[in-house]
A = this chain, B = another copy of it.
Amino acid sequence: MTMSRRSGRRAGTSQTREQIAAAARTLFAEAGYDRATFRAIATEAGVDPALVVHFYGSKQELFREVMQLPPELAAALAGVADGPADEAGRRLAAFVVGGMENPASRSLVLGRIRSASSHPDAAAMVRELVGRDMVRLTAAISGDRPQLRAVLIGSQLVGILITRYVVGVEPLASLPPDQLIEQLAPPFQRLLTGSLATA
């Protein structure tokens, strides 16, 4: 009894925490950092604002925590390095398109973009997050200018996300995911293993 009650309480706590995180991700994605207030996040999560403060302290801490890649996505991104190098572009394209097709991870990336575009603190945190995620992969695959490779890959991801999923420009908006992977594989391959232009 004690055991089950205790684990019940734990599950309840982590469930509330995750509810708040999901609400925060939604609001950061839809409204941006500035307009996603603790009160609005609490309303979206259906909890008392005091609970948001209790779990996350400041909005900066909340943003930093909920905008991280979840461990399973970070592992999958790092896993793109495993396998034949000349197919790394296709593996990365499949990972990226899979992530954008999934509403939860799409909202994560969109939250980063909207927030970073609307507030300098959020921009600074997003710059830090981008460094963590993507540079690890480019550095594992190519020793040469991994930061620049990572940002150029990230910028393609941002561009596709906005034109395809947010603005819905055709024919990109209704291109089947497998065809989008085909379109992104060659430029990603170039950015992962090709030689970067040097002016």
Contacts and interface: CB of A to CB of B under 8 A. Distances in A.
Contacts of A169: 126-127, 130, 151, 154-155
A148 B130 contact: no
A160 interface: yes
* Total copies of the chain: 2
A152 interface: yes
A198 interface: yes
B117 A162 contact: yes
A123 B168 contact: yes
A84 interface: no
A16 to B, nearest CB: 31
A96 B197 CA distance: 17
Nearest to A148: B171
A163 B186 contact: no
Interface in A156-190: 156-160, 162-164, 166-172, 175-176, 178-179, 181-183, 185-187, 190
15 contacts: A114-B117, A123-B168, A126-B169, A127-B169, A151-B163, A152-B183, A155-B156, A156-B156, A156-B159, A158-B159, A159-B160, A162-B162, A179-B199, A187-B187, A187-B190
